[in-house]
């Protein structure tokens, strides 16, 4: 019997992906575990293996097409078998890299039977819900004011909106005629670039963050003259070990010290349960500029690693990101992010928080500037810092105190060395 392979959830809460390249063709014989298709998911390329041995009867997804989790993408069977028409996409309760786990069929419901509602629907012009839930309702085409809230105080939760969206009948759309794509507008010729791949992931993530967390940015600067000298001194020793030593590992160490002293910046906000979750581990994401767009590999357990270990791992992660070899796990689990835009220029910025984190540190370029020290003007190396934070979780005073701790460590490298 033909086997319908559905696109699995290969990440944390993955909902969709983009087919990059099929590794097989229709009519080709494949073995279980053979490369089947390459899919781009959440900024990473994932190679999906075949779940079983057989013949590729039908490929149902085109390259560059966006596919949903649970959607049938290929039919595998025996030679000579025909591929049956796939069932419409569903939302499976359990999906893995080898396909959907079978579940007991649902019992049929009589036509007259009506669903039992434990409490009456509250029809209100202003439903109680977070901005993120309202955004989801808009995306799914659900009128949030008609949704029964199951949260505290009849708050509408994400699961309520999704359930309402699943039960909403989609109208039959008339057949659309192919639209003519103009290569010019009123003022001249233009190029149209499909919003796909990493750029599409970035766009969705930035909108979600900006319209979920109320952003506030505070700025300051640090004198890193002594730190620069230490880095220059140790650079040769690092190169002998094959390590490229930049100032970024020192900044990570300073940030970790700030997070230890100010844990509310190393947290996430659970909207549904109305809880602030303080993380007891320190996974630092570092924004990396790649030819395909911005990626944020995560250095796990940064507190327990030395400056040289951090430098080596940063080099490896950045190289993987640029070559699209980075694993999806390397992009997950961050608790705080650093955006080092100063590496390409720029003093200050207003970085967007890497949702669901609550803060991000923007690092500007190091610039020689005149500074008054002990009544004398000296030329010192100054680095510019911009901290964006979620004002729902962190107040301005706490954000500034965190930034003061970071600056203190950068201006006194001995403190970093003492902390390991």
Cβ–Cβ under 8 Å, residues 210 and 355: no
Rounded CA separation 173/380 (Å): 66
Q: Which residues pair with 277 in a beta bridge?
A: 268
Cis check for the bond before 356: say yes or no (omega within 30 of 0).
Answer: yes
Task: Sort strands 99-100 and 275-278 into parallel, antiparallel or unpaired.
Answer: unpaired
Note if 384 is an active site residue: no
Q: Name the burial class of residue 328, with classes exposed (0-12), middle (13-18) and buried (19+) by CB atoms within 10 angstroms of its CB.
A: middle
Helix (H, G, I), strand (E, B) or coil at 34: coil
- Cβ neighbors of 203 (< 8 A, separation 6 or more) are 195
Say how many C-beta atoms besides its own lie within 10 A of residue 357's C-beta: 24
Stretch (H or E) spanning 315: helix 307-322
Q: DSSP letters of 344-412?
A: TS-S---PPP-TTBSEEEEEEEEEEEEEEETTEEEEEEEEEEEEEEETTT--HHHHHHHHHHHHHHHH-
Cβ–Cβ under 8 Å, residues 64 and 196: yes
Rounded CA separation 145/125 (Å): 6
Could you say which of 126, 262, 384, 391 is catalytic?
A: 391
User: What's the 3-state SS for 99-167?
Assistant: EECCCCCCCCCCCCCCCCCCCCCCCCCCCCCCHHHHHHHHHHCCCHHHCCCCCHHHCCCHHHHHHHHHH
Residue the block writes with tokens 């229709």: 26
- Cβ neighbors of 383 (< 8 A, separation 6 or more) are 221, 222, 224, 247, 342, 363, 364, 365, 366, 367, 410
Q: DSSP letters of 265-311?
A: GSEEEETTTTEEEE-SS--EEE-EEETTEEE--EETTGGGS-HHHHH
Cβ–Cβ under 8 Å, residues 121 and 144: no
Which residues are known to be catalytic? 391
């Amino acid at each position: 019997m033909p086997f319908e392979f559905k696109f699995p959830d290969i990440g944390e809460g993955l909902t969709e992906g983009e087919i990059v390249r099929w590794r097989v063709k229709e009519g080709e014989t494949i073995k279980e575990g053979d490369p089947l298709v390459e899919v781009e998911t959440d900024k990473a390329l994932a190679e999906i293996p075949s779940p079983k041995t057989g013949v590729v009867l039908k490929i149902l997804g085109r390259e560059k097409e966006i596919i949903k989790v649970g959607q049938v993408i290929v039919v595998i069977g025996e030679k000579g078998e025909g591929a049956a028409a796939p069932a419409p996409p569903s939302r499976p309760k359990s999906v893995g890299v080898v396909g959907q786990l079978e579940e007991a069929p649902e019992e049929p419901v009589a036509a007259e039977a009506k669903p039992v509602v434990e409490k009456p629907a509250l029809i209100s012009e202003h439903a109680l819900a977070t901005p993120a839930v309202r955004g989801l309702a808009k995306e799914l085409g659900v009128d949030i004011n008609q949704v029964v809230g199951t949260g505290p105080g009849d708050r509408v939760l994400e699961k309520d909106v999704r359930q309402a969206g699943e039960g909403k009948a989609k109208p039959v759309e008339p057949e659309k005629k192919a639209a003519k794509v103009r290569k010019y507008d009123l003022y001249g010729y233009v190029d149209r670039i499909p919003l796909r791949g990493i750029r599409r992931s970035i766009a969705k993530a930035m909108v979600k963050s900006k319209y979920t967390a109320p952003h506030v940015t505070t700025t300051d600067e640090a004198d890193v003259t002594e730190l620069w000298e230490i880095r220059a001194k140790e650079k040769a020793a690092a190169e002998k070990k094959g390590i490229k030593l930049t100032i970024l590992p020192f900044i990570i160490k300073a940030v970790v010290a700030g997070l230890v002293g100010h844990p509310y910046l190393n947290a996430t906000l659970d909207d549904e349960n109305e809880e602030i979750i303080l993380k007891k581990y320190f996974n630092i994401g570092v924004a990396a500029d790649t030819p395909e767009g911005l990626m944020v590999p995560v250095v796990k357990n940064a507190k327990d690693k030395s400056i040289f270990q951090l430098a080596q791992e940063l080099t490896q992660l950045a190289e993987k990101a640029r070559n699209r070899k980075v694993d999806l796990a390397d992009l997950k689990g961050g608790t705080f992010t650093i955006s080092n835009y100063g590496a390409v220029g720029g003093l200050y910025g207003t970085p967007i928080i890497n949702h669901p984190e609550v803060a991000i540190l923007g690092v500007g370029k190091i610039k020689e500037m005149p500074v008054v020290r002990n009544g004398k003007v000296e030329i010192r190396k100054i680095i510019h810092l911009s901290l964006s934070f979620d004002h729902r979780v962190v107040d301005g005073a706490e954000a500034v105190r965190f930034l003061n701790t970071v600056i203190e460590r950068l201006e006194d490298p001995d403190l970093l060395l003492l902390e390991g």
